[in-house]
Amino acid sequence: MKRAYKYRFHPTPEQAGELVRTFGCVRLVYNKALEERTRAYTQEGRGVSYAKSSAALTAWKKTPELAFLREVSSVPLQQTLRHLQAAFANFFAKRAKYPTFKSRKRSRASAEYTRSAFRWRDGRLTLAKMGAPLDIVWSRPLPEGAEPSTVTVSRDAAGRWFVSLLVEEKIAPLAPVEQAVGVDAGLTMLATLSCAEQIVNPRHERRERRRLAKAQRALARKEKGSNNRAKARLKVARVHAQIADRRRDYLHKVTTRLISENQVIAVEDLGVRNLVKNRRLARAISDAGWRELRSMLEYKAAWYGRTLVVADRWFPSSRLCSVCGALRNEMPLSVRAWACACGAVHDRDVNAARNLLAAGLAES
């Protein structure tokens, strides 16, 4: 299967300048192609295919106003047109909303290079329009004999540079085990397992809230458009980046352990998009990273031959007695423990995890 390996790298001033120009051209081509497709449909009632957008790109390069597009590699520009085509395909298939314009401040700066636009020799990567290879920090080795088919270069809001190498890799499934587990996601505890074990929620954003607030206050005091404001914005972005990195690292450790120890993992389908509309819980839910937790379980289960079962979001896991199957009419969030008529006394989260496990075993 195809797998991406992401690394940090440190560009030279010349490489950074070339990449920044490429990011700007990629964003411009995407927005201009999106504007043309929208205009053609709303005013003329016709669609614009990728081939027509590619021909328009060739014409744009010949105009005096957009002649600078010829100064960067043509491959990232063609790739952004393919991404726009995929965005429209997802929109027409009702998998996503209508494509939006890329913002210079809010969109992730990135450029994608295919095999014809980079050179890979002896573990060194050189991009088109560059004379020297990138100074990559090899935090982990690539699979032996693997050669990247696609390279994506990006820069985050904190000013860090990353390169993602897409390679073909054979991932051996883990040895089968007999153990299965139900996982109930929460806020006080990140997850409660059907074996009654509780996984602590580190609350990374909450731990850094004072430092983040101090950086944001400093940013608010700076004059808009000044160099000091740019430096303050970078400090805020770095705090956010540290929080995100710690959260991602913790979720990787939790999900890898769950996948390695269990053959079947049962979770609940949480409507995170709707849940974060609750102003009282939105910050805590975002800090817990429920959606990222499930995403990691999904692709790791596919990699290593495990089974992930997702119970319906309307499944009454908390209101159902895991011993006798009796169903309570209601269960407020304030109720953390309850007793069933059959005599069983339940911890709310442990009971929910056990019901999820039973539903998962029945489905699998």
Beta bridge partners of 165: 5, 151
Name the 3-class secondary structure at 114.
strand
Q: How far is CA 30 from the centre of its chain?
A: 21
Residues in the chain: 364
Residue type, 216: Q
Q: Give the residue among 346, 279, 354, 289 at the shortest CA–CA distance from 315.
A: 354
How far is residue 69 from each of residues 42, 145, 331, measured CA to CA in Å?
27, 35, 60
112, 205, 268, 287: which one is catalytic? 268
Tell me if residue 292 is catalytic: no
Tokens of 164: 């993602």
Edge-to-edge strand order for the sheet containing 180-185?
198-200, 189-193, 180-185, 264-268, 307-311
Tell me if residue 245 is catalytic: no
Question: What crossing angle do the helices spanning 13-44 and 74-92 adopt, rounded to 10°?
Answer: 40
Contact residues for 265 (Cβ-Cβ < 8 A; gap 6+):
180, 181, 183, 258, 259, 297, 301, 306, 307, 308, 309, 360
18, 184, 205, 287: which one is catalytic? 184
Q: Which residues are catalytic?
A: 184, 268, 349
